[in-house]
A and B are shown apart, each in its own frame.
Chain A
Amino acid sequence: MSLLEPWPWYVAGPLIGLVVPLLLIVGGRLFGVSATLRDACAALPVADQHTPAFLRYDWRASGRWNFALVAGIGLGGFLGLQVLGSAEATLALAPDTQASLRALGLTDLSGFVPRELVAWSALTTGPGLIVVLGGGFLIGFGARWAGGCTSGHAISGLADLQVPSLVAVLGFFVGGLFMTYIVLPVLL
């Protein structure tokens, strides 16, 4: 396997799973990315009387760790996309998925994001605005309400056999399937 080819699931999955024990051993921390969003909100320079109680805490204790981690993820994304590069170019989607996307009106299936939706130029269209801003909003709101996102619940929580995490993951799929089968065909 060349580093430049897309990595198969049985290589990438265990590599991601290993982050959980590494974080526990290094800092006693359970892997979860969306808590960073709470830390970032808490770190915003907003007067206390305008800040919800949920965001009034010492964000430095957890925030500095989390900010270092996500800055690293950003750098890793740069290395992956701009230096290694070709995983993006060799995206082989299932034929059924391609047919379904074309039926939705998406013609450019290259790259990691649909350029007709996720691009600065697409923000002038309703669907583009809803996908980028609406999607971001729902992820931030939902992850904090559920107490975690894919990493915190689907990976860390399930690995620790937490039933609440299983409920959250089932919720992820109920929402995701509804969006994929009901909303996207209407929106796009």
Chain B
Amino acid sequence: MNPASDLTPTRTSASLSAPAPSGWAYVGYGLLGVYLGVVFTQSQVISWFRIYEMFRFDSFHMYGLIGTAVGTAALSIALIKKLNLKTLHGEPIHLAPKAWGQARLPGARYWMGGILFGLGWALLGACPGPIFALVGGGISVMVLALAGALVGTWTYAALRPHLPH
């Protein structure tokens, strides 16, 4: 299967055609990860209890945090589009729209997959980014959660032809 024809909303078309980045680019990417990991821990979003609190609507913390993250990102994306900004390599920045798919149930993958993800999020109290921060932070049992997530990803891949999208 051609991965470009497959829905991969987390990748832009620019990245699919981008040349292999140099070693320094990986360092930059790693530093961005360090920055994220520190913000994740210091704002307590990697806390199981904070996620539980969020789903009980007992605190504004997570809503304010996600809301201002989306607002900041939305403003930045609007600016990038308006100013027609390019990547550092001079490539155009193109954000591929997410397709609705062709299932008899419109958008089936988004709400069905979304519900399963939400079940896991509230159970484990961490989504993928925070899982990595917790592992690095010394909560070593989260390595098993990571292994579970890999098994889940592989199972999805195996069942994919039979699932509505």
Chains A and B belong together in one complex: yes
A contact residues vs B (CB 8 Å cutoff): 3, 6-38, 40-41, 52-58, 60-62, 64-65, 68-82, 84, 87-88, 91, 93-94, 96-97, 100-101, 109, 112-114, 117-120, 122-123, 130-162, 164-165, 167-181, 183-184
Rounded to whole Å, the gap between the CB of A49 and the closest CB of chain B is: 13
Shortest Cβ gap from B14 to chain A (Å) = 3
Complex CA gap A109/B35 in Å reads: 27
A23 is contacted by which of B2, B32, B112 (Cβ under 8 Å)?
B32
Measured in the bound complex, the distance between the Cα atoms of B148 and A140 in whole Å is 7
Measured between beta carbons, the chain B residues less than 8 angstroms from A162 are: 9, 97-98
How many pairs, one residue from A and one from B, have CB atoms within 8 Å of each other in the complex? 565
Complex: how many Å from CA A121 to CA B73?
Answer: 40
A28 touches which of B14, B29, B74 (Cβ 8 Å) = B14
Q: Which residues of B contact A165 (CB under 8 A)?
A: 9, 98, 110
Q: Which residues of B contact A138 (CB under 8 A)?
A: 116-117, 119-120, 123-124, 152
Q: 1/0 per residue B118-129: CB within 8 Å of A?
A: 111111111111
A-B contact pairs, 19 of them (CB 8 A): A6-B42, A9-B68, A14-B68, A25-B88, A27-B21, A65-B26, A68-B27, A69-B36, A74-B132, A91-B50, A97-B56, A132-B142, A133-B148, A139-B149, A141-B116, A141-B120, A147-B8, A150-B66, A159-B71
A135-B120, A159-B70, A184-B123 known; 13 new pairs, CB 8 Å cut-off, are: A9-B68, A25-B93, A28-B87, A35-B11, A38-B153, A78-B138, A80-B42, A91-B47, A146-B116, A147-B98, A151-B128, A155-B69, A157-B98
Closest 7 CB pairs of A and B: A76-B37, A72-B33, A171-B114, A175-B118, A136-B148, A80-B41, A140-B152
Across-interface contacts of A9 in B (CB, < 8 A):
43, 60-65, 68
Interface size of B by Cβ–Cβ distance < 8 Å? Answer: 132
Which of A20, A74, A145, A173 has its CB near the most chain B CB atoms (within 10 A)?
A145
Indicate if the CB atoms of A7 and B42 lie closer than 8 Å.
yes
**A6-B160 Cα distance, complex, nearest whole Å:** 41
B70, B121, B141, B154: the one within 8 Å of A120 (CB)? B141
Q: When the two chains form their complex, are residues A176 and B113 in contact, meaning their CB atoms are under 8 A apart?
A: no
A57 to B3, CA, bound (A): 6
Residues from chain A with Cβ under 8 Å of B48 in the complex: 112-114, 117-118
The CA-CA distance from A147 to B98 in the complex, in Å, is 9
In the complex, A82 Cα to B141 Cα: how many Å? 16
A155 to B115, CA, bound (A): 17
Are A73 and B76 in contact, CB atoms less than 8 angstroms apart? no
Determine the distance from Cα of A112 to Cα of B156 in the docked complex, in whole angstroms. Answer: 29
State in angstroms the CA–CA spacing of A112 and B50 once bound together. 8
